[in-house]
Amino acid sequence: MKPFERADRVSMQIQRELSGLLKKGVSDPRLERAVITGVKTAKDLKSARVYVCAPGEEGARQQVMEGFERARPFIKRELARRLGLRYMPDIRFYYDESLDYGARIDGVLKNLHAVNGSDNTSTDQ
């Protein structure tokens, strides 16, 4: 059994190249703080889901997604040139809410710790 499927290897390569492209190639200011959190390519390599996140409020998130949709033809063209695949997967961008959810949970836990921190006493006496 192969350690990685071809789709997984292509996904990792797309993520690596797309991250580099965001750092150096895309001039849209809406995408400056965007982070690629993952890429999932279909087994037939015809489509790829690119998961992105950006720090900030809801309005910034919407602007980032609009920036990616506007830059999608350029990004697909550049990735096709860099990857050298016979067929470039159709790329769709999705906002990854897992980091926002984790930050929200972390804030709730810190708030609980701050409120109940002095009330917690050790029972190991």
Domains and CATH numbers, the chain: 6-116 (3.30.300.20)
pLDDT attached to residue 124: 52
Say how many C-beta atoms besides its own lie within 10 A of residue 28's C-beta.
16
* Cut 0.85: pTM above it: no
pLDDT attached to residue 125: 47
Which of 82, 95, 87, 96 minimizes the C-alpha distance to 13?
82
- How remote is the C-alpha of 32 from its chain's centroid? 13
Q: 53 exposed, middle or buried (CB, 10 Å; 0-12, 13-18, 19+)?
A: buried
pLDDT attached to residue 121: 52
Q: Which residues of the chain have pLDDT under 70?
A: 1-3, 118-125
pLDDT attached to residue 88: 92
Q: 64 exposed, middle or buried (CB, 10 Å; 0-12, 13-18, 19+)?
A: buried
